[in-house]
């Protein structure tokens, strides 16, 4: 069995979904780039029952290299995203409650909060609806993710990207929290959106956002 550490990491990630508010049951799926292809969760297996050997290995075209189970029904958009985005090392797809609720309105999440920039733009786009597992859904997701690290899927859920699995899982949590905040703000009144020039400034600042060594002043 190849890539045992990555397989265990994938299982740990999907088992954390419920505790992180990212979904229940078998909803959602996770993939990680691996030498020669993609490792992805199987279809329809309760997370508590997953074993490293259950994680399916696909080649870049989505064909099974190893594994006794069928891959996630959403294998197509996982493979397509990883094939087109060299910056992405892992993908989390979740049916988290608030992100999914907003996705069911088929609306983008606008710049109601500056942290929207964490996903790479001045909004979190909502991809048009298409039946799960289809090439059409994959194309919609690719378009919505152009230049972004996350998107909503209409009447479905969310996709979050990261350079590794830890980053992708953190992005999914961020999207769900922003979705919750947006929903709450709309209960009070229409939220005041940040201007485009402010979001451009925030996006520029986000290029150096995060953990980094202290810059000594001279």
Phi then psi for residue 14, to 5 deg, are -70, -30
Please name the residues in contact with 190: beta carbons below 8 A apart, sequence gap of 6 or more. none
Q: Render 61-72 in DSSP notation, one character per residue.
A: TS-EEE-SSPBP
Alpha carbon 43 to chain centroid, angstroms: 18
Catalytic residue, from 74, 176, 198, 204: name it. 74
Residue 74 annotated among the catalytic residues of the structure: yes
Task: Please say whether the beta carbons of 142 and 81 come within 8 A.
Answer: yes
The whole-angstrom separation of Cα 13 and Cα 167 is 11
Is 119 in contact with 204 (CB distance < 8 Å)?
A: no
Comparing CA positions, the residue from 166, 7, 11, 156 lying closest to residue 93 is: 156
Q: Annotated catalytic sites, by residue?
A: 74
């Amino acid at each position: 069995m190849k890539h045992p550490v990555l397989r265990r990491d994938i299982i740990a990630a999907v088992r954390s979904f419920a505790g992180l508010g990212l979904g229940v049951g078998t909803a959602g799926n996770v993939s990680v780039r691996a030498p020669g292809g993609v490792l992805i969760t199987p279809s329809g297996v309760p997370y508590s029952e997953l074993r490293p050997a259950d994680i399916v290995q696909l080649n870049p075209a989505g064909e099974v290299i190893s594994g006794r189970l069928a891959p996630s029904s959403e294998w197509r958009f996982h493979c397509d995203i990883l094939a087109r985005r060299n910056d992405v090392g892992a993908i989390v797809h979740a049916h988290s409650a608030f992100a999914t609720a907003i996705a069911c309105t088929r609306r983008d999440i606008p710049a109601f909060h500056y942290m929207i920039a964490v996903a790479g733009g001045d909004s979190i786009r909502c991809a048009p609806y298409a039946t799960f597992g289809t090439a059409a859904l994959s194309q919609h997701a690719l378009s919505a993710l152009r230049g972004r690290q996350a998107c909503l899927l209409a009447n479905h859920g969310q996709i979050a990207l990261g350079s590794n699995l830890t980053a992708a899982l953190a992005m999914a949590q961020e999207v769900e929290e922003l979705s919750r905040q947006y929903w709450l703000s709309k209960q009070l009144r229409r939220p005041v959106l940040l201007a485009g020039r402010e979001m451009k400034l925030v996006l520029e600042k986000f290029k150096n956002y995060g953990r980094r060594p202290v810059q000594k002043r001279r």
